[in-house]
Structure 1
Amino acid sequence: MRYIQKIPVPPELQASLEKSLKKKLSWDNFKDEDGRSELRAHLWKEQFGLCAYSEISLNEYGFHIDHIQPKGNSKYFHLRFDANNLVASALVNQNCVAKKDLFGGHKKDNSEIAITPAQQNCNKHFEYTPTGMIQPAKQLTDQDKQLTQQTIDCLGLQCQLLINKRHTVYASINQQLSYLLEDAEALSYFINDYLEPNAQGQLKPFQSMAEQIFNRN
């Protein structure tokens, strides 16, 4: 999980969100003509094409719009059209993967999570192993470790599908680093290239894990 720096919502889209709230529109009835497609594009851009929770590419399995504070909870119903509470989360639907590998917003459903991508230092709560496992960071207090583990479990971040993907990327990065350790210029280029978005505004997956490997976090 990485911090999502929210960017200004285009005025026309913001007006559509406010209009939908004023009309007391339910989320399920919020359609493309109400601004849904524009909102999806905005969130993709804001997140550089990465899932808010897992950091895989949003293009791989498609994505849906998720509410950080769950819309199904009456405490947060008024936030259902608040852009600060909205993120793009893989998967497009629950049928994309096996039930045991469900993760992200569809796994979270209407549960609350303690660590969210709206928190600036959210990435500091997690650490990654070479085998692709994710776990609470060692430097956390016992209470924060518990909250972090609850977040991992609630979002399905330890599902085998994500473990395998992180393992593959971790091994690939380590292999590249081993080739470049004696070439400072090439090493710097590789690291910067991995951590910067491409021409389409897309970041490579698992940025927080990569930063940990690069000792940049």
Structure 2
Amino acid sequence: MKRIRKTHPPREFLEWLKENQELDCSYAALQGKEAHTVLKTHLLREQGFLCAYTGVSISEEDSHIEHIKPQSVCRTVPNPGKTYLDDVEYRNMVACFPQDGGDVSHGYGAPIKGGWWNEEQFVSPCQEDCERRFIYGWGGKVSPAQENDNAANKTIDILGLNAQRLRDRRYRAIVGFFGFSRKHKTKELTKQDAKVLLTIIGKPNSTGKLREFCFIFEQLLPRHIK
């Protein structure tokens, strides 16, 4: 899981909130509006075009706006001092795979989480320590960094982060990145190149995109160097 550092909401979204605060200022009313499109693009860029939960590469076409705290448990009336509902709270929204947030056919990610919610038992990608809470193996498996971290364990389970399809995707990425594939006769990554990559792997490229699973490579590169 890659930490998301939330920035300021886009101007169009803030203007929509202001214009609709006395009308219907809910996520349902926002959908289909230009402000919704701008918001989604903003979230994708904020995340380096990686799914907030799984770290797979995403785009406008294969992602949706996900509510970390599900809409089903968001407040139906504004909080004190607010004029809009919690389901349009910017810090509660991230971009996730797939396009249809209810499509469970992939077996992992946001659709698997569905309407489940327990704030104390969920590691959010917006939490400062989220990257340190998980450890990745060479075979693509993810585990809690600390065995007694119940929230990390629950998050892995509730998001299906060890679903076979996702594990296989991580494994293929690891093999390709480090050049471990005998089948394709790739050259293994040298320690010198690994040291260089370690300094840049967590940075977006010229188009603002992060490499798929870059946070995994950041963990594995030091092990490879040793």
Q: 1:72 to 1:167 in 2, by over 3 A?
A: same
**For the residues of structure 2 that align with 1:18 and 1:105, how far apart are their CA atoms?**
29
Listed as ranges, the matches of 1:101-140 within 5 Å are: 101-112=106-117, 114-137=122-145, 140=146
Q: Does 1:179 align with 2:179?
A: no
**For the residues of structure 2 that align with 1:213 and 1:158, how far apart are their CA atoms?**
18
Indicate if the aligned counterparts of 1:64 and 1:90 stay in contact, CA closer than 8 A.
yes
2:41 alignment partner in structure 1: 41
1:148 alignment partner in structure 2: 152
**For the residues of structure 2 that align with 1:149 and 1:141, how far apart are their CA atoms?**
8
Q: Does 1:72 align with 2:77?
A: no
Indicate if the aligned counterparts of 1:70 and 1:76 stay in contact, CA closer than 8 A.
no
Secondary structure in 2 aligned to 1:135? strand
Q: CA deviation at 1:141?
A: 5.7
Q: Does 1:12 align with 2:16?
A: no
Q: CA deviation at 1:188?
A: 3.5
What does the per-residue CA deviation read over 1:104-157, in whole Å, with 9 as the maximum and x for residues that have no partner?
A: 2221111125200110010111111111111111xx262x2x221111111121
Structure 2: which 5+ residue stretches go unaligned?
Answer: 78-84, 181-186
1:160 alignment partner in structure 2: 164
Identity %, equivalent residues: 26
Tell me which amino acid in the other structure corresponds to 1:116. Answer: S
Secondary structure in 1 aligned to 2:189? helix
Structure 1: which 5+ residue stretches go unaligned?
Answer: none
**For the residues of structure 2 that align with 1:82 and 1:195, how far apart are their CA atoms?**
27
1:55 alignment partner in structure 2: 55
Q: CA deviation at 1:11?
A: 2.6
**For the residues of structure 1 that align with 2:2 and 2:76, how far apart are their CA atoms?**
23
1:31 alignment partner in structure 2: 31
Q: How many residues are matched? A: 207
What does the per-residue CA deviation read over 1:50-88, in whole Å, with 9 as the maximum and x for residues that have no partner?
A: 000000001397100011111111448732111111000
Secondary structure in 2 aligned to 1:179? coil
- Larger radius of gyration, structure 1 or 2? 2
Secondary structure in 2 aligned to 1:35? helix
Q: 1:154 to 1:19 in 2, by over 3 A?
A: farther
**For the residues of structure 1 that align with 2:138 and 2:95, how far apart are their CA atoms?**
27
1:170 alignment partner in structure 2: 174
**For the residues of structure 2 that align with 1:166 and 1:147, how far apart are their CA atoms?**
22
